[in-house]
Amino acid sequence: MLIGIDASRATSPAPTGTETYSRELIRALLAADHRNEYRLYTREPVARDFFGASANFEICAIPFPRVWTHARLSFELIARAPDALWVPAHVLPLAHPPRSFVTIHDLGQVHFPEAHPPAQRAYHNWAARWSARAARKIFADSEATRDDLVERLQVPPEKIVVVYPAFDAQAYQRASDAEIARVRARYGIGEDYVLAIGTIHPRKNYARLVSAIGLLSKLNCQLIIVGKRGWLFDTIFARVRELNLQSRIIFLDYVSASDLPALLSGARLLAFPSLHEGFGLPVLEAHACGTPVVCSMTSSLPEAAGDAALFFDPLDVEAIAGAMERVWSDESLRAKLIRRGFENLQRFSWHVSARQILHTFEEL
């Protein structure tokens, strides 16, 4: 069987959660499957070894300036159709083989429409409904996303397969003190800091996190937010100025993948106050670096964190501040969360997830 995969997101030089999911699952799938052949569609040429050492795949680079998925990829699929197609990031092209699969990571635009620009929200809503209807099977990152698909889009439950993401076990490990100090110096960060990771837009709930930091003046800690600027980021910067917290909050647009493990390892805790997540990879990455996690009790985050985080109501600023203060100050609680974090990681594996996807391909 020849399986086509939209690998356009996997090659991003500045990967977020969706790009990491695409890259790591494609690599794991190629390593696990020696029976089928694969064709990876990319926007630009990429070195073959980027996806690993397997011999059973080809890279089909098809540059195109705009509407790549629905125009250029559709044309390629009509001209040279594979036996099956998998899109790891939300949207099936308009033209696709009868056996097509898609991963829908979340329906955040449905829960929090105000957190997305109107045009983007309209496209995401259309794309989710189109892909859910057109795909033979849907992969969901979590039970929470599966439930959303059933309740919000009326997708039959038997059409959905929950496939959990994992983390990069080679990259994310506890960094040495020397490496932590080097990375702190590179980004101008002090010794005591709370770390938050994710694109700066309303759904990440950073305005309330900033307000919570304002309530913790006695801790004298910094808040480091790592993420590119998204929709309505100005409101978050305005909140920092309003509370006069410019000296205590640092925004880093992007941190190289090689520096993130040390940045996580040096943090006193990871704060993840998101209002809605399809999964939440930074939670696992923090566990792998031995960093305690405080996070929202909403959507998929309890699935991702298990019993290895201190949860809070993301709409309650005092609850966010209280959770951070407890984990910051209580050494016994910190040790327990760190230990449970390492245990929680055993539930997630790219290899196991790739096997689930492969089984679904071959079952149909």
Of the candidates 159, 147, 186, which has an alpha carbon nearest to the alpha carbon of residue 302? 147
Least confident of 53-57, 68-72, 173-177: 53-57
User: What pLDDT was estimated at residue 254?
Assistant: 79
CA distances from 108 to 104, 113, 154, 230, 265 (A): 11, 8, 16, 15, 29
Does the pLDDT value for residue 288 go beyond 80? yes
CATH code for the structural domain at 177-347 = 3.40.50.2000
Looking at domain 2-166+349-363, its CATH architecture is 3-Layer(aba) Sandwich (3.40)
Decide if 2-166+349-363 and 177-347 have a common fold: yes
Taking the domains of the chain in order of start, what are their residue ranges?
A: 2-166+349-363, 177-347
- By residue count, the chain amounts to 364
CA-to-CA distance for 363 and 1, rounded, in angstroms?
12
Please name the amino acid found at residue 223: L
Question: Do residues 283 and 258 make contact, with C-beta atoms less than 8 angstroms apart?
Answer: no
Task: Return the H-helix or E-strand segment holding 294.
Answer: strand 293-296
Does the pLDDT value for residue 70 go beyond 80? yes
User: What pLDDT was estimated at residue 16?
Assistant: 82
User: What pLDDT was estimated at residue 217?
Assistant: 85
* Mean pLDDT value across residues 101-125: 87
CA-to-CA distance for 265 and 288, rounded, in angstroms?
9
User: What pLDDT was estimated at residue 38?
Assistant: 98
